[in-house]
Amino acid sequence: MKATYRVDKEGAGTRLDAWLAQQLPGVSRSRVQKWIKAGSVLRNGEKDTPHAALEEGDEIAVDAVDAPDADAPLVPRHDIPLEIVYEDEHVVVVNKPSGLIVHPAVPGESETLANALIAKYPEIAKIGDAHDRPGIVHRLDREASGLLVVARTPAAFANLKSQFQSHVVKKEYAVLIDGEPPQDEGTIRLAIG
């Protein structure tokens, strides 16, 4: 798909992903977001973010011909090792290493925990809210390591999702720092960023 659009007065202030999805009937907003992140959508000749606020007169160019299919199934990656801490017929608990992302950030990305999981547990490919997040109800950042619980059944997915949404699940974090803090103990009450 190759097309160019001009933002009119009514489109000004709208998010790029929402506006473009309106211009492309039959193309989901999540697919548009993936195109934007993959660089297949340019705003005034430059890459931008899905949540960027548009201005009247912006030119939006879409060249999704070379973009990987956002709806293509994940490629199983048997070469990515998994450290399974616990598993039964309902869930798997995996120790995610630092440096590995949980699920693809852009279409076609395959060096992810999700790709490794479907290699070992192909039945989870259809579990969850999105095909690129099989059985995944929470995530850890690329740099973080730690335990991730993954659903193996639709019932387990719904139950885990409900627990995370209602904050029943208690999370604990340990942080390693580089350098020497100014004091030996204390409390920081700021956003992590």
User: Could you give the residue numbers annotated as active site?
Assistant: 141
DSSP string for 64-108: -SSSPPTTSPPPP-TTS---EEEE-SSEEEEEEPTT-BSS-SSTT
Give the number of C-alpha atoms closer than 13 A to the C-alpha of residue 108, restricted to the C-beta side.
Answer: 10
Q: Which two tokens stand for residue 193?
A: 């960023």
Q: By the 8 A CB rule, do 150 and 124 touch?
A: yes
